[in-house]
A and B are shown apart, each in its own frame.
Chain A
């Protein structure tokens, strides 16, 4: 099936609308069903227009226009955007990650790599974390976005500006003794916090031991991972996906954060199986992909949305690694429809003139552009994880970025024109950037601390 030189098979038929024979009592038309029908029809008509000439056709991927859109997202914003004042690190991360995947060098556009240090210096606090802007409190989400953007550049100048020692202390203050992390002092405790913190810890090679000034130490907690896997396991709901914290509704973005955390904490086939019901999460993830749309929805009975091309689509590489040892066939198996998602992204999420969106009728923005492009990376590559043979992990035994591998998938339509540079499945930045950062911070650990 994968990476063969055999010519691709003809594209299979459009998935039919999920209609059922007349039932005794017709399904009551509630707001959920009415909205669902409308979106399904809208997407189906997009697919039909795209396939009019030839059944396997999609709309072409407008790479240059999307790159221009993201380059524009790094330009100056008018005052109406001041409601984004606390999210600027996110805007930068979305644009940087998306541009890297597109691999498009634009004329007349300055290299974003040269602007990163100037951008994040005013956001950097003495406590080690990054806030949304100058004078804003450190926050795990903005720290995550800032660190990923800096590391995506693969430039030493950017690595050097991160104060790893102070960051270690800052993260220590966010750790909660019962396992998870708070997003900021006095903020919400949810599974995003764990993921943001673990991404930073593993990329910067920080010690897993909590700093002495970490408040959680007073409750006998001495390690960033203490009680964390168990707590993430409690976020899995009766449906199979994970909610933001125990008891909350299963949701794509929190599920990605939980799975991603477990995939940093150790070999995915061990950690994911240890803390989650794998059959249940597989089933729930699978049920998030709809026909005829082809795209992913974030929760049961919600609508498809291009951002879940990543939040749900991005769970599949992680699940592939978690289940790769199940049977001799596992490494070749797919659990979802790559062509369905590809078609949703190409046919329904591209805005004329550039940028990608939630669904037809919505406006493109940097967030949806980046996460749709990330979705293309998951569609176009098959990922796996091998435990490093020399025991070479990072930060005392976390799963290293270079343990992951990918193989391009060849037998899906729309390629090779629509191919993007592959992302790392855990760090969601260019393939080489994560491993390169781990190697640099590993080698410079003594100096940096």
Chain B
């Protein structure tokens, strides 16, 4: 703990003490003396627009006490960038903080600012992997990963393999599914005209559905491919029927298959079959969504009428 008040290195600074709004103010916090003093010195440095070494040590102290303080991170980033500081050592300093405060997201915006300036993604994919081992669906880490892949064109640098590895660990990790979509399909719309890739991804989704037919993530992925590639659902009707044999309803193994089957029947103009599938969903396989399935049923009739 630093005692700024008696430290000669800080004697030129007149701290700006906390204004908390007086006795009427709501949700006041009884700050510790340590935090309160550090913040008073930070306000003074910010007011003077000082961009110096001691800003770095001060912000480091405050972050240690309160890592969810966006102002402190932003000011720190400003100093690092303006003064051309060693950004590598900043990343090394950041790593344990990120691992300690898994749910903190200011860290990831800061990291993005630093790595963008560094113009070098070395080590980042490895660190993301370590993070995701601790928290496999952390939204901020995945968002950072998207940014990184795009910023440094890492689409073909092990990302596909990494999503596959994560899905081997947990086939229902939807963040990994979404990242796979991002890696495969988001670069260029011409990918939809590449039958090699479209087939590969279709097979990938199908093979995962075989392993866990009631996994919504895989069905969403498969349906996304069908829709974007303009493939009619009827092309995979046989596959879908495996999981939703509508003529033997007691053997149905997936509500998502039944949902897709209803759409395939509609596409084929088999309205009564589509209604049968939607009734099974409303009554037996997904009744909490009864209102939605009823809506889908009513839409069948509307689309026939018009």
A interface residues, Cβ below 8 angstroms from B:
15-16, 18, 20-21, 23, 25, 27-28, 30-33, 73-79, 81-88, 91-92, 95, 112, 114-116, 118-122, 131-137, 139, 184-188, 237-240, 243-251, 282-283, 286-287, 289-291, 294, 299-302, 327, 329, 333-337, 340
Q: Which residues of A contact B43 (CB under 8 A)?
A: 134-135
Q: B55 at interface (Cβ–Cβ under 8 A)?
A: no
CB-CB nearest in chain B for A30: B170
Inter-chain contact B29/A81, CB cutoff 8 Å: yes
Please name all residues of chain A whose beta carbon is closer than 8 Å to the beta carbon of B66 when the two chains form the complex.
82-83, 85-86
Instruction: Report yes or no: A249 in contact with B174, Cβ–Cβ below 8 A.
Output: yes
12 more contacts with CB within 8 A, not counting A244-B143, A300-B174, are A25-B211, A28-B212, A85-B39, A86-B69, A115-B24, A119-B25, A119-B26, A120-B21, A135-B71, A136-B70, A300-B177, A301-B217
* Residues A187 and B74 in contact, CB atoms below 8 Å apart: yes
B174 in contact with A137 (CB, 8 Å): no
Residue contact B26 to A82, C-beta cutoff 8 Å: no
Chain A residue with minimal CB distance to B74? A186
Closest to B32 in A: A79
Most buried by A among B26, B67, B171, B228: B26
Contacts A134-B18, A329-B298; A77 near B67 (Cβ below 8 A): no
A83 lies within 8 A of B181 (CB): no
* A residues near B21, Cβ cutoff 8 Å: 115, 118-122
CA distance A245 to B285 in the complex (A): 34
Instruction: Report if A131-B71 is in contact (Cβ < 8 Å); known contacts: A84-B29, A248-B142.
Output: yes
- Kindly state the separation between the CA atoms of A132 and B298 in the bound complex, as whole angstroms: 49
Selected contact of B289 from candidates A133, A185, A248, A287, CB within 8 Å: A287
Partner of B292, one of A18, A88, A247, A282: A282
- Asked if B61 is at the interface (CB within 8 A of a chain A CB), the reply is no
Q: For the complex formed, measure the closest distance between the CB of B113 and the CB atoms of chain A, giving whole angstroms.
A: 7
Across the interface, A185 reaches (CB within 8 A) one of B39, B68, B74, namely B74
Does B288 count as interface, using CB distance less than 8 angstroms?
A: yes
Asked, given contacts A82-B32, A135-B42, A337-B290, whether A301 binds B26 with beta carbons under 8 Å apart, the answer is no
Contacts of B181 in A (CB 8 A): 237-238
Tier of interface size on chain B = 35 or more
- Chain A residues in 8 Å Cβ range of B35: 79, 82, 85
Binding site secondary structure of chain B: helix
**A187 contact from B31, B109, B171, B214, Cβ within 8 A:** B109
Contact in complex: B68, A87 (CB < 8 Å): yes
Q: Is the CB of B143 within 8 A of A333?
A: no
Specify which of A244, A249, A250 lies most central, judged by the most chain B CB atoms within 10 Å of its CB: A249
Sample (29) of A-B pairs whose CB atoms are under 8 Å apart:
A16-B287, A21-B252, A27-B214, A28-B211, A77-B27, A77-B30, A78-B29, A81-B29, A84-B68, A85-B31, A122-B20, A134-B19, A135-B16, A136-B71, A186-B77, A238-B223, A238-B228, A246-B186, A249-B139, A249-B174, A249-B178, A294-B288, A300-B174, A301-B174, A302-B137, A302-B174, A336-B291, A336-B292, A337-B289
Q: List the B residue with the shortest CB-CB distance to A23.
A: B253
Which residues of B come within 8 Å of A, CB atoms?
Answer: 16, 18-22, 24-32, 35, 39, 42-43, 46-47, 65-71, 74-75, 77-78, 109, 112-113, 136-137, 139, 142-143, 146, 150, 169-175, 177-179, 181-182, 185-186, 210-217, 220-221, 223-224, 227-228, 250-255, 285-292, 295, 298, 302
- What are the residues of chain B within 8 A of A188 when measuring CB–CB? 109, 112
Q: In the complex the two chains form, what is the Cα distance from A92 to B146 in whole Å?
A: 34
Residues in chain A near residue B137, CB distance under 8 A: 299, 302
